[in-house]
Chains A and B, each alone.
Chain A
Amino acid sequence: MKTYDIVIVGGGPAGLAAAVAAKEAGNDSILILERDHELGGILNQCIHNGFGLHTFKEELTGPEYAYRFIKQVLDLGIEYKLNTMVMDIAPDKTVTAMNREDGMFQIPAKAVILAMGCRERPRGALNIPGYRPAGIFSAGTAQRLVNIEGYMPGREVVILGSGDIGLIMARRMTFEGAKVKVVAELMPYSGGLKRNIVQCLDDYGIPLKLSHTVVDIEGKDHVTAVTIAEVGPDRKPIPGTEERYTCDTLLLSCGLIPENELSRSAGVTMNPVTSGPVVNESLETNIPGVFACGNVLHVHDLVDYVSEEAKRAGQNAVKYIADGCKEAEGANVIELCATDGARYTVPSTINKDRMDDLLTVRFRVGDVYKNSFVSVYFDDERVMHNEKRILAPGEMEQIILQKKKLDEYPNLKKITVKIEKE
C-alpha cells in the first residue's frame, strides 16, 4: 500500500475542504478515505437549498454545494478511496482501513485529519416508552430513504425534536404528500435554525409544540399512534396534558452526536460538552499531527462554517508536516473558557506563537437570551462587549480574536466568553 503524508478520515464537507486546502497549501500526498459510495457525505441527501450563502454568496442545494468541493478535489488530482471504512487510528497515526478491493490495509500517516461527521441520537438513547414497531426513524435515515432510495416511510407523521433535519423533513414529507401533524420539542426553545422553523413549519401550518415530548408509542408491528405530553421545568411529562395522534411514522430529530469512536481509541482527549475532541488554535488535538474539523469536532449549524474550519485544519496539517512534525511548544498557551450561558468554545487553548492574525472562536449558548451581550474577558478585564438581540442554542455564535490585541497582554493566561445581561 502506498503511503501518504495526510490521511483524511471522511469525504463529507469537512474532509473535502480540508483536502483542497492541504493541496493548495503545497502538500501532494493526501488521501481521503470515505465509507460511502460517493464523496459529499450527508450533503448528498440534503436536496433542499440554502447551502453556501456565506461561502459562495448564492443558495445551493446540498449536492450542489458538495460538488463545488468534489470538483476541486478531482481537478487537483487528490486521491480518495470510496466504500472504505477506517477501522482504527493508532496513537502513532497509523490508519487501518478496509474495502473490498484492497482488503485491510495500514497507512502510517504523518498527519491525520478527523472529519467523520456525526450521527443522530436514536430512539433507544432517548428512553421513549412504548412499543418498538417499524415506522420509527431518525430524521436523517428518513431523509436518506426519501431522497436517495426514493421511498416514503409513511403518510401521517409526528416528529419529535426540532433539530434542523427534523424541520427540513417536515417540509420534505409534506411535499411528498404526507401529513405532518405536529413537531414536539422537549425544550422550551427549538434546537434548529429560526429560518428553518419559518420556512419548513410556519409556511405549511405545521404546529411546533415546545416543552412537549413523546410519552407513548402504539402499534405492535407498525406505529399506529403516538401520544405527546407537555413537560414541566424538570422536563418530566405533566399528567393530564396527553394528546394522542394517530400516525404511521415517528421521526426523531433529537440531537446529533459527533462520531468519535475512532478518535477515542486513538487516545484523543474529548470535550464532554461538545462530545468532540479538545483542540488548540490549530484545530489540533492532544495528539500532535491529529487535527479535527466539521461536525466530528462540534455540531455546526451551517455547512459554510464547516468548510471554513476544515480549510484551516487542512492548512495546519500541511504546516505541521512542513515544520518537521514537532509537538507544539508549551509556552504562551492561553486557556479559553466558556461560562455564564456560553457552553463551550472551539478551540480550547491558544498558542499565541502559532495563531493567525485573526482567530475565529466558535461557541454555542445553553438557553435563549434576548437583548444580551457576548462578552470576552482577558483574565479579569472585559475586552469585548457585543450586543445581541437574540442568542439561541440552535445557532452557532462566534467571536474573532486579533493576534495584535492579544500581544497587548503579554501575561494573559485565560480568555473567558460569557453571556451578560448588561
Chain B
Amino acid sequence: MLYDVIVIGAGVTGSAVARELSRYETNVCVLEKCEDVCEGTSKANSAIVHAGFDAAEGSLMAKLNVRGNEMMGDLAKDLDIPFKRNGAMVVCIHKEALDGLKDLYNRGIANGVKELKILNRDEALEMEPNLSENVEGALWAPTSGIICPFELNIAMAENANMNGVDFRFNTEVEDIKKGEDGNWHLRTNNGEYVARYVVNAAGVYADTIHNMVSADKIHITPRRGDYCLLDKTVGGHVKHTIFPQPTNLGKGVLVSPTIHGNLIVGPTAVDIENKEGNNTTAAGIDDLIAKAGDHVRNLPIRNVITSFAGLRAHESHHEFIIKEVEDAPHFIDCAGIESPGLTSSPAIGEMVGGMMKDMMGLKEKANWISTRKGVKKTEGLSVEERNALIKENPAYGTIICRCESITEGEILDAIHRPLGARSLDGVKRRTRAGMGRCQAGFCSPRTMEILHRELGIPYEKITKSGGKSNIVLERTKGEVSGS
C-alpha cells in the first residue's frame, strides 16, 4: 500500500505529528519498532511541562517550548489527560550565582515566558519550606507544569488512530531508498512500506534514519539520565518542581511531585554511545541522591519505589532539527528532540502538520475528531459513583492493583480501546496497575490472567513489554493432561 506519509517512531513526537496530520485528507502510517507507543525517550523523562526559560533566545527550541507549554492546557482537556501547572522554581544556593538567576529570568522574558518572577530567600522558603537552608533566591515560573508522559503520548496516538492513522508495531525500519517511482521505499522486518513523504521521529535513532537518506550526516548522542521515583506518602515533600541552576549538561537534577502524587528525583546526565543503554548504574544513582540534596532538605530518598534511566536524543548543537532534509526532498526530520521535547511535542506536531499541509496541499477533513476519552478512572469517585459504575459493569468492583487501587474495569478499558494494551507495561502505562509501591508483585499474575482471557494470548507469550520479554517460560512439569 502506498501511504501519503509514513511517520517513523510512535513516541511523543511521532504521535503528535500523526495526530496533526490526521486533521487532513491524507493517509498516514506510523511505523514503530517496539510493541507499543511510548517505548523510548518518551517513557523515561522528568514528566515536566517546562515553562521555556532554559532554551537559547531565538532558538526553535525556545519557540516550540513556549508554544507547547501554551497549548498543553487545552490539549490535556481535549485528550482527557491529567495536567497541572504546579509551577517551577530554579533555586540558587550560592550568592555569587544570583546573577545567573537574573540571566535566566531575562532569557525567559525574551523567549516569551509569562509571569516569571525572581524571589528572594524568604519568599522562596515561604513558598517551599523544604528548600535547602542555603537558598539565596529563586526564579519562579508559575506556568511550568507536570503531566503523565505515557498518557500524553498514548492519547495523541489513540486520537490519531481514531482519525484514521494506521499504526504498525514491531516494525523496524532497516533501510530507506528513493524508488524510481519517486516515492520512499522503507524496508522493514515486516516487509516493504512505500510513502510519498517520510517524517523521521525516531528519537535516539533519528540520526540512523536520517543518515539512510542524506549525505549530510547528523549524530545523536544518547544522553542517559537516571531517576528515582519515591512513594506517594512523600509525594508532598515539595509542591513545586525544584531545579538547580542549569549547566551545559542540561537542567540538572530536579525534585518534583508527579501528576499522580509520587516524588521524582533526577536526572543525571551521562553521554553514552549505546542507543539501547537505558540501564541504571550505581554511580548514577549515588550521584543523583547526592545532588538532589543540594537544593531540597531532608529528601526522603529511602522511600524510593523504583529507579530507571532514560535516554535523551542529544544533538551536538542542542537544537531541534525540524525541517525537510535538503538533499532528500519529501523527507522531514524531527531530530535532536531532547528536553524540552515532551513539552514541545504538541507544538512540533503543529509545526510539522502546518509544513506538510503547505507542501502537500492538504485539505482539512470535515469530520476530524479533536477529542478523546481516556481510560475511565475510579480513583476519587464517591461511593455512589462507584456503585453506579459497578452496577453497569461489575468489573469495576474488582481491585487488581492493590497499591494504586486499579480495578479490572480499568484494565479491560485499556485493553479494548484503539491501540489497546498488549503487555503488562502496556496495561501499566494506561492504567497505573503495577506502578505502585509493590511494583506489580501482587497484580502481575492477575493482569496476565486478564490479558490471557481477553486477548487469547497463551501465558508463555505474555510479555512485559513485547519482544522477548516473556514473563514465564513454560508449564511446570506437574501439568495434568487435559487441564
Contact = CB atoms under 8 A, between A and B. Distances in A.
Interface of A: 35, 83, 85, 87, 96, 98-104, 106, 119-120, 122-125, 127, 129-134, 138, 140-141, 144-146, 148-155, 176-177, 215-217, 220-222, 237, 248, 261, 264
3 closest Cβ contacts across the A-B interface?
A: A124-B306, A100-B397, A122-B439
B476 A100 contact: no
B117 interface: no
Contacts of A124: 229, 304-307, 439
Interface of B: 228-229, 233, 276, 278-282, 284-285, 304-308, 383, 386-387, 390-391, 394-399, 402-403, 405, 437-442, 444-445, 448-449, 459-460, 463-479
Contact of A100 (B279, B398, B460, B477): B398
Given A96-B383, A119-B441, A140-B441, A101 B473 contact: no
Contacts of A148: 445
Contact of A222 (B468, B475, B478): B468
A347 to B, nearest CB: 25
A232 to B, nearest CB: 14
A237 B475 contact: no
A35 B464 contact: no
Contacts of B276: 220
Contacts, number: 147
B402 A85 contact: yes
A221 B439 contact: no
Considering residues B228, B395, B474, which has the most beta carbons from chain A within 10 angstroms of its beta carbon?
A: B474
Contacts of B229: 124
Given A150-B476, A151-B474, 6 more contacts: A85-B405, A129-B285, A130-B279, A134-B469, A149-B472, A222-B470
A125 B472 contact: no
B304 A127 contact: yes
Contacts of A217: 279
Considering residues A103, A120, A155, A217, which has the most beta carbons from chain B within 10 angstroms of its beta carbon?
A: A103
Given A103-B391, A134-B463, A177-B477, A98 B386 contact: yes
Nearest to B444: A141
A133 B280 CA distance: 12
A128 B7 CA distance: 36
B469 A221 contact: yes
A124 B226 CA distance: 13
Nearest to A144: B445
Contact of B438 (A85, A119, A151): A119
B459 A99 contact: no
Contacts of A106: 383
A261 to B, nearest CB: 8
B469 A150 contact: no
Nearest to A224: B468
Contact of A129 (B280, B399, B465): B280
Contacts of B468: 221-222
A103 B308 contact: no
B439 A152 contact: no
Given A35-B399, A150-B476, A237-B282, A104 B438 contact: no
B441 A151 contact: no
B276 to A, nearest CB: 6
Contacts of A85: 398-399, 402, 405
Considering residues B233, B281, B391, B398, which has the most beta carbons from chain A within 10 angstroms of its beta carbon?
A: B398
A280 to B, nearest CB: 25
A17 B438 CA distance: 26
Given A85-B402, A141-B441, A149-B459, A155 B473 contact: yes
Given A104-B386, A220-B276, A145 B399 contact: no
Contacts of B282: 129, 215, 237
Nearest to A176: B476
Contacts of B475: 150-152
Given A124-B304, A134-B470, A151-B476, A98 B441 contact: no
Contact of A99 (B280, B304, B398, B478): B398
A151 to B, nearest CB: 4
